[in-house]
Structure 1
């Protein structure tokens, strides 16, 4: 098992999410995907402020994000509520912790986009 990267070693959002996966209760209050979504929106804003370029599929200002598009295709239609609410609803109906379902779906999303796992 590799040692988790420190914050100053993160190269992209997937490094951040890997760290969240390892210790979700330390990052996401009550496992709320709405809170995680807000953190990711802040990440995206920081990218814009610092002119950082990277693959960021969770929020595209003024457009539908790649993750929302993928989730909509998986679920048979786009939702105006966003990926966090949609996954939380699915988690509730399947009696699965929402954060756990998110990471399962994130793995599927990355697999389909042929991205290396973190």
Structure 2
């Protein structure tokens, strides 16, 4: 099950990871992305990943456009090509859905899937 979402906006100083950023976008998409553009969201998340690398922040980044855990899950779960990234895949494979709404629906599915997987054992075999 996905982490419980806070229904009200949080100040940037309280954001802890990319998921906090994405949840703020969910609450106020018009403030962050023009016209509900999932491409623009993907570009912003790419910038987030660059900032992590530049500043040496140790945070697992799941939104890498073509090879991160979210893209890998979409490819495995739905058989989608990630050659042009998850944002383009959402637009291509779900043409009848609003792309940003589709992203959040898929993100919720991804988070539920990850949450239902057992934790890897730390014991040596």
TM range (shorter): 0.7 to 0.9
Alpha-carbon distance in 1 for matches of 2:71, 2:106: 11
Please state how far the C-alpha of 1:2 moved relative to its aligned partner: 4.9
SS where residue 107 of structure 2 aligns?
Answer: helix
Deviates more, 1:96-105 or 1:49-58: 49-58
Q: CA RMSD in A?
A: 1.9
The reply on whether 1:112 has 2:113 as its aligned counterpart is yes
- What TM-score results when the alignment is normalised by the length of structure 2? 0.81
The reply on whether 1:39 has 2:44 as its aligned counterpart is yes
Change (3 A) 1:67 1:2: closer
The reply on whether 1:73 has 2:115 as its aligned counterpart is no
Aligned counterpart, 1:9: 14
Please point out which of 36, 42, 59 is paired with 1:54: 59
How many residue pairs end up in the alignment?
111
Aligned counterpart, 1:23: 28
- What TM-score results when the alignment is normalised by the length of structure 1? 0.85
Please state how far the C-alpha of 1:77 moved relative to its aligned partner: 4.2
Alpha-carbon distance in 2 for matches of 1:68, 1:2: 26
Larger radius of gyration: 2
Change (3 A) 1:78 1:90: closer
Please state how far the C-alpha of 1:88 moved relative to its aligned partner: 1.3
Deviation string 1:38-67 (CA, Å, 9 cap, x unpaired) is 10000000001111111211118xx72111
